[in-house]
Each structure stands twice: as structure tokens, then as C-alpha cells.
């Protein structure tokens, strides 16, 4: 017998409302970017005019290339630093392992405001005030804990006998790493890279502190733009970023489980 279950219904209704709240700004942005009548509702059709404008805008293109270079470099470096550390953490038992792990994850615990300020002051002091290095370092340190987390998880699933088998048939350490370990771990590495890239690509707080003149990453560029105008071109750019983030989310989720990765 079905009883009218007020509690369950309320729970479902509330969740639906919250989901609406979560999706609202995303949906509206996508809508505006495709609406030929800019902000006028209802839309009369679909246009890619705004996208064309966004993707040919000199400022945005420059921001994109900065973000792209920054994201790729930061992810590569962060992953390269994290990989050996993850291997040591997963494969070796040593005293103080928990402390080392906490230490390596510590950038997640420091408020970005303070971390960025600290780097800013530090590099000013070192005389690097306006180079590209502070920005890159900031991004690398910011994403490294995430790389470490995905790689640790994927190494936990890695069967060490794959490596032993390779050594057994005559492969040295380096050869084993290149031909066996990395290819077997590739899904974990792909998701790790995707996560690091997207975090760097979307970052605002660190970039706004550390970006030198002439090297403004896209989010900062977009922010300066929408300070003065909220037109559909900005919507198109924002939509592009949303789509890119969604692709990264799918990648990460497929290979690493998004939820485990995003937990703080």
C-alpha cells in the first residue's frame, strides 16, 4: 500500500530546488550565449555569433593562450613532482609517513588569499616581482596536492607485480617506468592532468595576485571585462569555459572518480 509520504516528497522537492539553484547561473549563461536577441526573452533561435565574437576577440585570445600555456606547464610540473612522491608514499613504509602526506597536502589547507600574498611578497623580496615565474609557481603549488591525491589513489590500485615482471624479463628501472608503469597508470595520469589543468585554467584568486602585466590569464581578463559590460560576448566566453570544465569533469570522473578527488 502506498502511503502519502510527506517527508520523502519534501526532501525530493527541496533537492530539486537546490539543483535548480546550482544549475541556474550555468544554464542562464549558456542561454544568453546562444540567444540571438542578446538578453531579450524568449529566444527566437540559436546563434553562434557571440561565440564567434568571443573567439576572435584579441583580448580573450591572448588570455586563452596565457591560460593554456600556464595550465599545461603547471599541470606537467605538478604531476612530475607528485609522481615520485606518490610512489614513495604508496610503496614504502617509513616513520612519519602520515606527517609527510599531510605536509604535501598542506597547500589545500592554506587560504588562497594568504598563499598568494605570501608568494607575491616573497618574489617581490627576491626581485622577481613581475616575472612569469611567480604565477607559474603559484599554480603548480596550488594544483600539486590534487595530482598527488589522484596518483596515490591510482598507485594503490597498481599491482607491483607488473613492474616485477618487467624487471624479471630484463628491463631496468627506467625502462620499466616508461614501458610498464606509466602506460598502465595512464588513466590515472590523464585524469590527474585534466584536473590540474582545469583548476589552473579556471583559477582567479592566485592569478589576480601574481599575474604580471601583459600575461593576464583568461579568468582575470574575463573579470575585467564584465566589470564594465555583461554582454552576450562575455556569456559566450563563459559558456566556452563551462563546456571545457564539463569535458574535464567527465574525463576525471571516468578515470578517477570525481567525488573522491574533490573532497577536501
Partner 1 sequence: MPDDAIQVDAIQKLYGTMKAVDDVSFSVAPGEFVSLLGPSGCGKTTSLRMIAGFIEPSGGSIRVHGRDVTHLPPEKRDVGFVFQNYALWPHMTVAENVAFGLKLRRKSRREIAAKIEESLSVTGLSGYEDRLPKQLSGGQQQRVALARALALEPELLLMDEPLSNLDRALRVTMRRELKELQARMKMTTLYVTHDQEEALSMSNRVVIMNGGRVEQIARPYELYETPASSFVADFVGITNFFEGTLMRCAEDWDEVRLASGQVLHARAGAGQGGQPGDAVRALIRPERVTLLSGPEEGANILRGQVMLAEYFGAVLRYSVRLDSGETLRLEVHNFDAILENGTPVHVRVPPEHLRVLPLDGRA
Partner 2 sequence: MLRRVLPPLLPALLALLIFVALPMLWVVRTSFNELVDGAYMVEALSLDNYTRFLGNPWYLVNTLWFSVRIALLATAISVICAYPVALYIAGTRGLLRNVLMSLVMAPLLIGLVTLVYGWIVIFRGGGLLNSLMIALHVYDEPVRYMWNIKGVVILLVYIGAPYIVLSLLDSIEKISPYLVEAARNVGASRWTAFWKIVFPLTMPGLYAGLVIVFSLNFAAFAVPLMVGDSKTQMIGLVIYREALLNNDLPFASALSVIMVAANTLILLGMGALFGRLILNKLEVKQ
**Exposure letters 98-108 (e unless 16+ CB within 10 A, then b):** eeebeebbebe
State the binding partner of 178 from partner 1, partner 2, none, CB within 5 to 8 A by kind.
none
Among 199, 233, 251, 256, binds partner 2 (CB under 8 A): 199
Q: Three-state secondary structure along 140-173?
A: HHHHHHHHHHHHHHHHHCCCCHHHHHHHHCCCCH
149-168 positions binding partner 1, by CB under 8 A:
159, 161-162, 164-168
* Options 175, 230, 247, 257; binder of partner 1; rule CB under 8 A: 175
C-alpha cell at 144: 600539486
Site string for partner 2, 71-110 (x = CB under 8 A): ---------xxx-xx-xxx--x-x-----x--xx-xx--x
**Binding span for partner 1 by CB under 8 A among 34-42, 54-62, 176-184, 247-255:** 176-184
Dig out the grid coordinates for 180 from the structure.
610498464
Q: Which stretch binds partner 1 (CB under 8 A): 121-129, 143-151, 175-183, 226-234?
A: 175-183
Count of residues interacting with partner 1 (CB under 8 A): 18
| Residue 5 binding partner 1, by CB under 8 A | no
Amino acid at each position: 500500500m502506498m502511503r502519502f509520504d510527506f517527508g520523502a516528497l519534501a526532501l525530493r522537492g527541496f533537492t530539486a530546488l537546490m539543483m535548480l539553484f546550482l544549475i541556474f547561473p550555468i544554464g542562464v549563461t549558456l542561454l544568453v550565449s546562444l540567444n540571438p536577441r542578446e538578453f531579450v526573452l524568449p529566444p527566437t533561435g540559436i546563434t553562434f555569433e557571440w561565440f564567434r565574437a568571443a573567439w576572435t576577440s584579441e583580448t580573450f585570445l591572448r588570455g586563452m593562450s596565457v591560460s593554456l600555456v600556464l595550465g599545461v606547464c603547471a599541470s606537467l610540473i605538478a604531476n612530475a613532482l607528485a609522481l615520485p612522491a606518490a610512489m614513495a608514499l604508496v610503496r614504502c613504509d617509513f616513520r612519519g609517513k602520515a606527517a609527510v602526506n599531510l605536509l604535501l597536502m598542506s597547500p589545500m589547507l592554506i587560504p588562497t588569499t594568504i598563499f598568494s600574498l605570501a608568494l607575491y611578497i616573497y618574489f617581490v623580496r627576491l626581485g622577481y616581482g613581475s616575472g612569469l615565474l611567480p604565477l607559474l609557481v603559484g599554480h603548480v603549488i596550488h594544483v600539486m596536492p590534487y595530482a598527488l591525491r589522484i596518483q596515490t589513489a591510482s598507485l594503490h590500485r597498481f599491482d607491483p607485480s607488473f613492474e616485477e615482471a618487467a624487471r624479471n624479463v630484463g628491463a631496468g628501472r627506467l625502462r620499466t617506468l616508461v614501458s610498464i608503469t606509466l602506460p598502465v597508470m595512464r588513466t590515472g595520469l590523464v585524469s590527474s592532468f585534466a584536473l590540474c589543468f582545469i583548476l589552473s585554467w579556471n583559477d582567479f584568486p592566485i592569478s589576480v595576485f601574481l599575474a604580471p602585466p601583459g600575461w593576464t590569464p583568461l579568468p582575470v581578463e574575463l573579470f575585467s571585462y564584465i566589470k564594465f559590460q555583461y554582454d552576450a560576448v562575455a556569456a559566450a566566453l563563459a559558456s566556452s569555459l563551462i563546456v571545457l570544465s564539463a569535458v574535464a569533469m567527465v574525463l576525471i570522473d571516468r578515470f578517477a572518480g570525481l567525488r573522491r578527488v574533490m573532497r577536501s
